Structure 1
Amino acid sequence: MHRRSLLALIATAALSALPGGAQAQAANPAAVPGSVEVSGVRYTPTVQVAGSTLQLNGAGTRYKFVVRVYTAGLYLGTKAATPEAVYAASGPKRIHVVMLRDIDANELGKLFTRGMQDNAPKEAFSKSIPGTLRMADIFSAKKRLQTGENFSVDYVPGVGTSVLVNGKAQGEPVREPEFFNALLSIWLGPNPADDGLKASLLGQEAPTPRSGRNR
């Protein structure tokens, strides 16, 4: 085997052993073909969730005015180009977020809750309230997310939604199946946090100028 190919296989195997979404930060473009760099954060083309291989559907940057706040990458079993296709996708899913600046974690949790209220159907949001409160508690306990820190939200059918902060699972999964899609609506709903990020997560070219709301 060619030396470069052997090194690539070794590097890929090492990355697959990293916890949660840490792969997105640690990936090396020379070692992992097909990885995507977003605002200095590199997302691997695939990740493993609950024994399933998920592929990167899209990744982009969340802007608040002209300030870069975080990057986000969406992983699915198969590519999806519309929010409806993402919501309907079967199998595990993951949204992975890497902070580009320090932010009060409790405030971020409140903004996410407001984003779900603004975007998720009323009935779905009502059913996802227990998960919303759980996520708010997780961020409240964290106090602050610093530049370079990350969190992943994984959905596994029959298990529920798990939140991982810096690769470490935070408590038991949220059982309500509506919660994950309600959370995704923050970025993919009719009033997304950032129109450009929505387009990027769906594998589309981000519009110009970008718009960023307060979440």
Structure 2
Amino acid sequence: MRAFFVAALLAAGSLGSAAAWADTVEVANVKYETALDLAGQKLQLNGVGIRYKFVIKVYTAGLYLSSKAGTTAEVLAAHGPKRIHIQMLREVDGNELGKLFTKGMEANAPREEFVKSINGVLKLSEVFASRKALVAGDNFSVDFVPGVGSTLQLNGKPLLSEPIKEPEFFSALLRIWLGDKPADESLKEALLGLKKARR
């Protein structure tokens, strides 16, 4: 009888571990929740991946939406709040990162969308330029809430005094990773849930 109870407890423990594991996805030793609440709505992890520069892992990225989307057009058209979450895997100069993001938005967004995003682009560049560097372990999120705008958090702390109101900004930002000239083609596919992230 005692052996039965021990076996039952072990089985329960392994089920608990499996359930806990199912609530997160791990990539490059970074855990992403499979679901989260934003502005009172439930979002699910659409995809997660790693940004490589040559063979060097630079950061991980996770995209959260209210419903699954498998194409860039579906992501941009998706209703409700959205989040892109980045976690650094190595040190990157803050000013350089801001410039790369700006170039990525300009290269991928339609001209009219980019022009309407200028206010947000400048604010984002200022935020990164004000930091000497982002180091391994630093993370930032950009949240978009319809009717409110985009907010930026670094290591969980808000960085803007008020949201970036232009909805075009968030769309242009997402195009860095999901546009026709993405920062990393493999990461694009991972964020769209088309393939598992490279480890």
How far off its partner does 1:30 sit?
Answer: 6.1
Deviations 1:158-192 (A, max 9, x none): 00000100011111110011000100000000000
The match for 2:59 is 70
TM-score calculated relative to the size of structure 2: 0.88
Deviations 1:65-107 (A, max 9, x none): 0000000000000000000000000000000000000110111
Q: Which runs of 5+ in 1 are unaligned?
A: 9-27, 209-215
The match for 1:202 is 192
Deviations 1:119-178 (A, max 9, x none): 000000000000000000111112210101100000000000001000111111100110
Q: Does the 8 Å contact 1:32/1:44 carry over to 2?
A: no
Cα distance in 2 for residues equivalent to 1:95 and 1:203: 14
* RMSD, aligned α-carbons: 2.2
Identical positions, percent: 55
Cα distance in 2 for residues equivalent to 1:165 and 1:144: 12
- Is 1:182 the counterpart of 2:172 in the alignment? yes
How far off its partner does 1:34 sit?
Answer: 3.8
Cα distance in 1 for residues equivalent to 2:102 and 2:44: 27
How far off its partner does 1:32 sit?
Answer: 4.8
- Is 1:61 the counterpart of 2:47 in the alignment? no
The match for 1:119 is 108
Runs (4 or more) in structure 1 with deviation over 4 Å come to: 2-5
Cα distance in 2 for residues equivalent to 1:149 and 1:31: 24
The match for 2:29 is 40
> Cα distance 1:207–1:69, how it changes in 2: closer, same or farther (>3 A)?
closer
Q: Which runs of 5+ in 2 are unaligned?
A: 1-7
> Cα distance 1:160–1:207, how it changes in 2: closer, same or farther (>3 A)?
closer
Cα distance in 2 for residues equivalent to 1:134 and 1:67: 28
TM-score calculated relative to the size of structure 1: 0.82
The match for 1:85 is 74
